[in-house]
Amino acid sequence: MAANDKPIERRRILQGIAVAGGTALAGCSGGGGGDGSGGDTDTQSDSEGDSGGSTEMDDSGGGVSGEVNFVHISSFEPSAQDFAGQFNAASDATLETQGTPAESSSTREYYINQFAAQSGSFDVGMMDVVWPAEFVGAGWATSVSDPDGNMDTMLSTPVEAVTLDGSTYGMPMFTDANGFYYRSDWLEALGYDEPPATYTEVVNIAQEAKEQIDACENGYIWQGGANEGLTIMWLNWVWGFGGSIRDGDGNLVVNSEEGIQALQHAVDLIYEHDVTPESIPSSGTDGNRQTFQQGGTMFMRNWPYAYGLFQDDTPVTDSFDVTTMPKAEGNPDANNSCLGGWSLFINNFTENAAAAQEFAQYAGTLEAQEILSGEHGRLPVRQELYEDSYWEDSDYDKPGNLDIFSEILQQTSARPATAQYSQFSNLVYTECNRALTQTKSPEEALNDAQAEIDSEINNG
């Protein structure tokens, strides 16, 4: 997607990086999120600096040094490597990167194990849009400063997600929304002018593709493994059927008519319609991306990052496209794409808070956002990058996914905002996965999930 490989100038990067010395730590001395829980007082005192620090770094770096250990989801590895190259060239600090398992639920477990030991083994991590309340409430994430005002021109929702009690506890990096990927060449070969807009159309076209196109091995792949991806996939269908996951009293409800209908639809895609492979209950986000990229799949539901990877001289580079999520018949206005996104957070137990703050602030600069969007197909949080005029002076062409995902972002719904979200999601994806493997019927699975949700969350 890059128009050329010309590196971004170090001076441009430095304009958005954190200020030198203690000024970079303004707002960091609050420790573990305002309630003092879980905070390391030594770490907190280290985060207090000399407020007389310079507000600009020169090309040789600044007063902040040391090693920043950045632990990220594994699918972010290409972006992390680019970040490391640019940040290390511009800073006296050194960024080291490490990937965790690809699934967000596994990444969360890794972080929590480190937090339980009050470990400073990593300094900066990636926080899913539904984690801030939990991480801040437990004293695991410390506040993040924004002296250069990078958040001032960001989309409001990602900033709101990391803002609790008036303080920010993360630097938004990219936003997310589910898209429906399809083989545009195969769609044309089958005689269709437009991608499917309804669940029935998805099934019909996927069946035709498997029957008529020799290279088509899979009709429709989606996240079916027992992890967060399955919870979101189920929510896509619930919302697409016109359902909600809260009742009039605000209780979480999963065994509604639409909830059961959604899970039955997923099961039918595998065992009745024969468009989804039986291996899907063990699949994950990036595994599905790799499968689609190999060229034998008609439809896939996935996130924006896949778009950029497909551009890099793959079997599908010139033969795919992405559109809004299909919906159930009779619900054309359903907002059934799930809002996602990730921010950087700083481990409250870090022993290198100054350098961690500097890297967090770098991630919010236009330069970093340009790399994420132009090179890797992520949806930026800086509003400037959605304008055609921004890319006129860029080293990149305007990414082809920005316009369609701007439309998709208008058709999103959010996962339930609760500090117990991870517990809720675990119950949902565990029981949904049992239905996908035919261990239970969809109704049995969601009734069992509901009983646990009522006991542990609604009435807990």
In whole angstroms, how large is the CA radius of gyration of the chain? 22
Q: What is the pLDDT of residue 63?
A: 57
Contacting residues for 156 by C-beta, under 8 A, at least 6 apart:
none
How many whole angstroms separate alpha carbon 419 and alpha carbon 417?
7
185 in a structural domain: yes
Q: What share of the chain is helix, strand, coil (3-state, %, to 5)?
A: 45, 15, 40
Q: What is the pLDDT of residue 43?
A: 27
154 in a structural domain: yes
Same domain flag for 332 and 391: no
437 in a structural domain: yes
2 in a structural domain: no
The DSSP bridge pattern shows strands 93-100 and 66-73 to be parallel
Same domain flag for 121 and 185: no
How many whole angstroms separate alpha carbon 303 and alpha carbon 65?
35
Q: Which among 162, 141, 175 has a CA at the least distance from the CA of 350?
A: 141
| Share above pLDDT 90 across residues of the chain, in percent, rounded to a whole number | 82
Using alpha carbons, list the distances in angstroms from residue 217 to 166, 220, 334. 51, 10, 30
Q: What is the CATH number of the domain that holds 224?
A: 3.40.190.10
Contacting residues for 412 by C-beta, under 8 A, at least 6 apart:
177, 335, 337, 338, 339
Q: Residue 426's Cα: distance from chain center in Å?
A: 17
Q: What is the pLDDT of residue 290?
A: 97
Reduced to 3 states (helix: H, G, I; strand: E, B; else coil), residue 136 is: helix
User: What is the span of the domain harbouring residue 165?
Assistant: 10-176+340-409
Using alpha carbons, list the distances in angstroms from residue 450 to 100, 130, 226, 422, 426. 31, 20, 17, 15, 12
Tell me the longest C-alpha to C-alpha distance in the chain.
70
| DSSP for residue 121 | S
Q: Report the domain count for the chain.
A: 2
CB 281 within 8 A of CB 437: yes
Same domain flag for 267 and 372: no
- Give me the helices (H) in 63-198, please: 77-90, 104-116, 132-137, 156-161, 184-189
Same domain flag for 40 and 18: yes
108 in a structural domain: yes
Same domain flag for 249 and 358: no
- pLDDT (tens digit, 9 = 90+) per residue, 357-376? 999 999 999 999 999 999 99
Q: Which among 344, 335, 337, 204 has a CA at the least distance from the CA of 274?
A: 204
Same domain flag for 272 and 351: no
Q: What is the pLDDT of residue 64?
A: 76
4 in a structural domain: no
Q: Which among 13, 437, 17 has a CA at the least distance from the CA of 225?
A: 437
Same domain flag for 16 and 152: yes
Cross-strand pairs, 337: 412
Same domain flag for 169 and 191: no
Q: What is the pLDDT of residue 106?
A: 83
1 in a structural domain: no
Residues of the chain scoring pLDDT < 50: 1-62
Q: What is the pLDDT of residue 102?
A: 64
CB 323 within 8 A of CB 339: no
Same domain flag for 371 and 287: no
Same domain flag for 92 and 40: yes
Same domain flag for 262 and 288: yes
5 in a structural domain: no
- pLDDT (tens digit, 9 = 90+) per residue, 290-308? 999 999 999 999 999 999 8
How many whole angstroms separate alpha carbon 399 and alpha carbon 389?
13
Same domain flag for 296 and 439: yes
- CA angle, residues 111, 113, 116, in degrees to nearest 5: 110
